[in-house]
Amino acid sequence: MYDMNMSVLDDKFNMYYSAARKAYSAGNGAQAKRNYMLAAETLLELAKLSTPRLKEARVQRAKRLLEIAENIDGAIARNKFPAGSAEDEKEEDGGREWTAAEVPDIHFSDIAGLEDVKKAITVRMINPVKYPEKYKLYNKKSGGGVLLFGPPGTGKTMIAKAIACEVGARFYAVKGSDIVSKWVGESEKNINSLFDTARADKLAIIFIDEMDSLIAKRGTDTHNDRRVNEFLQQIDGFAGSAPNLLLLGATNRPWDIDGAALRSGRFSQKIYVPLPDAPARRFMFDKSLRGAPAAQDVDVDELVGLTEGYSGADIEEVCDRAKEDPLLKSIATDGVVPVTRADFLGAIKAVPPSVTAAEVERFEKFIRTGE
């Protein structure tokens, strides 16, 4: 209900504010005044649902909008746009507001293969939360940042969700593009507000996907350089200094990330999430067929062999397509039509692997050289 109310009120505010701007441009002072006042009232309602810092910023902006409404007639007479309502009127709120996502009931046992990845994550992020006294005994650092990298569709997001579920943490799942803003200084505020929000929780995980779009290599874009600098300030000395906060990043392009973010004390552990091996692909096919009507000619070993080089997302698509025709026939005949070998072979033909050999080699080169 909270998120729904916030979304509805935000939409209403934007509607009233846009209408006020248009009415002013058309010289309609009465309509502009009415919509500025409605925008201010809506912003005050939003303030009631906001964090303390954002609440104060929204209250102050509502007051400015009311001032604009009161002086609208004079501004129109002078043919001057109301002060503070042009592009620089954009809300100075210290960054966008972040809310934790609901964590599905996903455990490591639900993820196919990746045993080395699971072990590294368990040692680095799960066990420190479950057994803090043991880590203290061995003076072993906990928390910190972990970067998952690898081809798309290999389950990096699912791993992040499983970690949050295993440790019972609040889960902030964002994309780099959610943080990046075209407004000068806004991206840095968004980074700051995200970390401040998560640090206030008893235990939280920040999962940032598309890390390469957030902290690309510095030197060519001033806005990117500012983002990177702000991000590095937030995570400096991260390991061990914020035991209630875990940082997990994911990227399909690790070579595009600024090198300073990858050194020890920041993303000090970088874990490659490869394409699923044969046992992992078998797990996926078995899981998809569990409880589903399948013909006796379906040979999982054959399917595993035919999908070498497929990502987890590719195999999920193959299984979904293989079931389409039997499902439609089942609906048409009001009977049970099993999924056959031919259905799977047709699906594999229709869904080629999405990751090329050259892309896999690019990841292997990054592991060897860091470039």
Position 177 pLDDT exceeds 60: yes
pLDDT for the residue 339: 95
Query: What pLDDT, on a 0 to 100 scale, did the predictor assign at position 101?
Result: 74
Are 354 and 153 in contact by the 8 Å Cβ rule? The answer is: yes
- For CA atoms 92, 94, 95, 98, the dihedral sign is negative
The confidence score (pLDDT) of residue 84 equals 42
| Interval 255-297: pLDDT, tens | 999 988 888 778 878 889 999 999 999 999 999 999 899 999 9
- Domains located in the chain, CATH noted: 2-89 (1.20.58), 108-272 (3.40.50.300), 278-350 (1.10.8.60)
Q: In this structure, what are the phi and psi dihedrals at residue 265, rounded to the nearest 5 degrees?
A: 95, -10
Rounded CA separation 127/233 (Å): 26
Q: Which residue has the tokens 């409605």?
A: 38
The whole-number pLDDT of residue 87 equals 34
The one-letter amino acid code at 362 reads R
Report, in angstroms and rounded to the nearest whole number, the Rg of the chain calculated over CA atoms: 26
Packing angle of the helix pair 52-70, 29-48 (nearest 10 deg): 170
Residue 5, pLDDT above cutoff 80: no
| Residue of 50 and 274 predicted with greater confidence | 274
Q: Which residue has the higher pLDDT, 250 or 238?
A: 250
> For 228-240, what is each residue's pLDDT tens digit?
998 888 887 555 5
Buried b (16+ CB within 10 A) or exposed e, 244-262: ebbbbbbbbbbbebbeebb
Question: Per-residue pLDDT for 81 more than 80?
Answer: no
- Residue 242 has a pLDDT of 60
Question: Of 150, 102, 128, which Cα lies nearest the Cα of 2?
Answer: 102
Q: Is the pLDDT of residue 92 over 60?
A: no
pLDDT in tens, 95-143: 667 777 777 788 888 887 788 888 888 887 788 888 888 888 988 776 6
pLDDT confidence band for 75 (50 / 70 / 90): low
Q: What percent of the chain has pLDDT over 90?
A: 30
Q: Measure the CA–CA gap between 298 and 280, rounded to whole angstroms.
A: 18
Rounded mean pLDDT, 28-49:
87
* pLDDT higher than threshold 80 for residue 323: yes
Identify residue 196 by its one-letter amino acid code: D
Mean pLDDT of 161-187: 83
pLDDT, one tens digit per residue, over 213-222 is 999 999 888 8
Contact 173, 101 (CB under 8 A): yes
pLDDT at 46: 81
Specify the pLDDT at position 299. Answer: 95
pLDDT value for 105:
80
Helix and strand numbers, DSSP H then E, in the chain:
18, 5
Percent of the chain at pLDDT > 70 equals 87
Q: Return the bridge partners of 251, or none.
A: 149
CB 289 within 8 A of CB 340: no
pLDDT at 212: 92
Question: What digits encode the pLDDT tens for the residues 325-346?
Answer: 999 999 999 889 999 999 999 9
What is the C-alpha to C-alpha distance for residues 238 and 234, in angstroms, rounded to an integer? 8
Residue 274, sorted as left (phi over 0), alpha (psi -120 to 50) or beta, turns out to be: beta
Q: Which residues pair with 175 in a beta bridge?
A: 209
DSSP 176-244: HHHH--SSTTHHHHHHHHHHHHHHTSSSEEEEEE-HHHHSBPSSS-HHHHHHHHHHHHHHTT-TTT-TT
Using the predicted structure, report yes or no on whether residue 144 has a pLDDT greater than 70. no
Q: Measured between alpha carbons, how far is 11 from 168 in angstroms, rounded to an integer?
A: 33
Between 45 and 27, the higher pLDDT residue: 45
d(CA 258, CA 237): 17
Output the pLDDT for position 6.
66
**For residue 240, what pLDDT is reported?**
53
pLDDT at residue 358, as a whole number: 93
Name the band, by pLDDT with cuts 50, 70 and 90, for residue 183.
confident
| pLDDT value, residue 156 | 87
